[in-house]
Amino acid sequence: MNHGKFIVVEGLEGAGKSSVIALIMKILSEAKVHAIQTREPGGTPLAEALRECVKQSWQEQVTTETELMLMYASRSQLLANVIFPAINKGWWVVGDRHDLSSQAYQGGGRGVEAELLSTLRDITLKSFRPDLTVYLDVDPATGLERARGRGELDRIEQSGLSFFERTREAYLDAVKHDSNIVKVDAMQPMKDVHADVSAIVTAFLTP
């Protein structure tokens, strides 16, 4: 049996990930590809509990190291219990965020050293990488304004504009160095974003 594929959608808050993921799932369904959807942090009962720890506000300071470890602990659970079994069955997985989020948010935004991130990635993922990552690029101020329109911001979303500017720079740097990451301009009208994503995924499906 052929192994499945792992497609990840990345981007700052307000980039439009949810609608793009729904579009990708529709494209795969129409192509008769069996696919499941995941999100990070989260995706299993334990991983969802860790997500709550990451997202909610605490009266105490949440250290950068704690945030980082919670992200990788959640990712480890999701990989072992959902992503790897699905791919081994020949299913495709469409992920709302993956390891690139840690590289961008904790690496770029929080300033965690690349060597530490690399060590955690090697422990958790070993050599596993997404087959395709669609990065939705949005101006941080615009993205945060869109996020506010959805409701109250969570702890990470309250990190401030400069944090998200650093995070975006880390994303853009990753695009330059990884040919499996494709950037889409998420400042366009949504129909144009969807047209770009459709072209990318359709090309990826074509042998």
75-98 pLDDT, tens digit per residue, is 999 999 999 999 999 999 999 999
- Given this model, what pLDDT does residue 94 score? 98
Architecture of the CATH domain 6-205: 3-Layer(aba) Sandwich (3.40)
- Given this model, what pLDDT does residue 160 score? 84
Contacts 24+ apart (CB under 8 A), 47-56: 47/74, 47/75, 47/77, 47/78, 50/74, 50/77, 54/155, 54/156, 55/154, 55/155, 55/156, 56/154, 56/155
End-to-end CA separation in angstroms for the chain: 17
- Given this model, what pLDDT does residue 156 score? 82
Alpha carbon distance 146, 152 (integer Å):
11
Per-position DSSP letters for 89-123, written without gaps between them? TT-EEEEES-HHHIIIIIIIIT---HHHHHHHHHH
4-47 pLDDT, tens digit per residue, is 999 999 999 999 999 999 999 999 999 999 999 999 999 999 99
- Given this model, what pLDDT does residue 116 score? 95
Q: What is the mean pLDDT of residues 174-185?
A: 98
**The model's pTM:** 0.94
- How many helices (DSSP H) and strands (DSSP E) are in the chain? 9, 5
- Given this model, what pLDDT does residue 192 score? 98
**C-alpha closest to that of 12 among 197, 141, 180, 188:** 141
Task: Please say if the pLDDT value at position 132 is more than 80.
Answer: yes
